Amino acid sequence: MSQNNNETFNPFDPSAMFKDVRNAGMDAMAKTMVELVNTDAYAEATGAMLDAWLTSSGPFRKTLEQSMTQTLANLNLPTRDEVTRLAERMTNLEMRLDDIDAKLDDCLRALQSFSSPGKSKSSEGRKK
């Protein structure tokens, strides 16, 4: 143990010694794991396991997607693709409505500017 631990040693605290042993063991294990993980062999082994997992999970994922599509069809629920297509269509409709709104605003401004001078002339003619 270090001098700091000897200076603060309390004989009435039996768990302190176990905590020190635990901390020393954790530090040693952490250093060992860092050294292990930083090796090329570990990287190659991890890459091989990941490649094997991705290769084997492909057919399972395809089967799962097919069964989910069939289940959704049986329940009369939309699939992810159908919801995505619907969202795209609604976005297009929203954009068209915004364009129509902008054109209507332009038409309204044009009508107001056209009718504003006419109102002032007609109101002046009535006053005379």
User: Could you report the per-residue pLDDT of 29-69, keeping only the tens digit for each?
Assistant: 999 999 999 999 999 999 999 999 999 999 999 999 999 99
Handedness of CA 38, 44, 47, 49 (dihedral sign): negative
**pLDDT value for 2:** 47
pLDDT score recorded for residue 11:
74
Which value, to the nearest 10 degrees, does the dihedral of the CA atoms of residues 47, 52, 55, 58 take?
-100
Q: CA-to-CA distance for 53 and 56, rounded, in angstroms?
A: 5
Residue 118 — very low, low, confident or very high, per pLDDT cuts 50/70/90?
low
pLDDT range class, residue 1, cuts 50, 70, 90: very low
| pLDDT tens-digit map of 60-111 | 999 999 999 999 999 999 999 999 999 999 999 999 999 999 999 999 999 9
Model-level pTM?
A: 0.45
